[in-house]
């Protein structure tokens, strides 16, 4: 439990509560010692709107968390942090300490979509009618495209071509198919051309173990077990493959029906796809025919 320090203050989240000589509690902006103080660098390949909105948003937070007696000190700390991130000092002084009539307005009408700011005039455009289109941010090209599209009833949402996630190596050990869960899978038969499609919230390894047990004990708990028991066929468990991964149960069941419907030679029961809409069935058949025709022409 945190205790009040010698300076009569106590940190709480990103605030520090200070007790004054008059025994009144006042707050100021607080940064934990472990904080890296790293933000979007001013030299980074991001939209200028995004960089300016970052400064305004941080200022807004500092002002709201700090009592007026600590506001300038907190803004000074914020300025020093942003200077370390290559922001020009004169620009920071203009934005952070300009409290007059010409001070920047926080509600600038800029909309942030996928982490990127795009200018929008709130008084002229109804948010319900605006359609957003996404474009990669290219410094020499994208601003000109935005100007060209300004007269139309849609706005451009920018995204970066190379996000930070691409700069880091993938050190996490990849999950094998046998260890994946929430899956739609397919198991072929060794003795005929039929296949079984199923879904499970458990791992593929665990589900295959259950199927092997049902076949060994001659249980007819699924279409796969019935096929193996009644016909004496052996299932190719080593050839099992994952078709889709979906954590939502209802969506996973729908995807299972779609995969069963797409299989030309399926051992699944008709009842397994009885909840599939006739409209979806028709569309899946049409798409399948188009793909087959395209592959044949190739």
Say what the pLDDT of residue 128 is: 57
Pairing of strands 25-29, 15-19: antiparallel
**For residues 207 and 182, is the Cβ–Cβ distance under 8 A?**
no
**For residues 201 and 185, is the Cβ–Cβ distance under 8 A?**
no
- Cα end-to-end span (Å), the chain: 70
Cα separation, 66 vs 29, in Å, equals: 5
For residue 214, give the nearest of 201, 229, 233 by alpha carbon.
229
pLDDT along the chain (298 residues), means of 10: 66 82 83 85 85 90 86 88 91 81 41 41 54 81 81 78 75 86 94 93 94 89 90 92 93 90 86 79 65 36
Cα separation, 122 vs 128, in Å, equals: 12
Q: 3-state class of 197 per DSSP? A: strand
pTM of the model: 0.46
Cα separation, 30 vs 24, in Å, equals: 18
Say what the pLDDT of residue 296 is: 34
């Amino acid at each position: 439990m945190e205790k009040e320090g010698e300076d009569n203050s106590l940190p709480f989240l990103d605030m520090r509560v200070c007790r004054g000589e008059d025994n009144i509690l006042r707050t100021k902006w607080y940064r934990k010692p472990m904080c890296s103080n790293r933000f979007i660098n001013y030299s980074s390949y991001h939209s200028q709107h995004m960089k300016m909105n970052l400064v305004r948003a941080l200022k807004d937070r500092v002002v709201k968390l700090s009592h007026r007696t600590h506001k300038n000190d907190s803004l000074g700390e914020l300025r020093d942090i942003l200077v370390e991130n290559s922001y020009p000092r004169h620009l920071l002084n203009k934005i952070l300490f300009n409290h007059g009539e010409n001070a920047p307005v926080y509600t600038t009408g800029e909309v942030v979509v996928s982490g990127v700011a795009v200018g929008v005039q709130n008084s002229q455009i109804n948010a319900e009618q605006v359609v957003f289109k996404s474009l990669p941010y290219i410094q020499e090209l994208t601003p000109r495209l935005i100007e060209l599209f300004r007269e139309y009833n849609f706005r451009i949402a920018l995204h970066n071509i190379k996000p930070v996630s691409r700069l880091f190596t993938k050190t996490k050990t990849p999950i094998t198919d046998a260890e994946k869960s929430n899956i739609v899978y397919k198991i072929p038969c060794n003795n005929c051309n039929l296949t079984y499609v199923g879904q499970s919230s458990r791992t593929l390894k665990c589900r295959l173990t259950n199927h092997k047990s049902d076949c060994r004990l001659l249980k007819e708990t699924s279409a796969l077990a019935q096929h193996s028991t009644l016909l004496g066929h052996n299932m190719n468990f080593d050839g099992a493959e994952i078709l889709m991964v979906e954590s939502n149960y209802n969506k996973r069941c729908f995807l299972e029906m779609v995969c069963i419907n797409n299989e030309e030679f399926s051992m699944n029961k008709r009842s397994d796809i009885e909840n599939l809409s006739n409209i979806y069935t028709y569309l899946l058949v049409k798409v399948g025919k188009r793909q087959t025709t395209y592959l044949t022409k190739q």
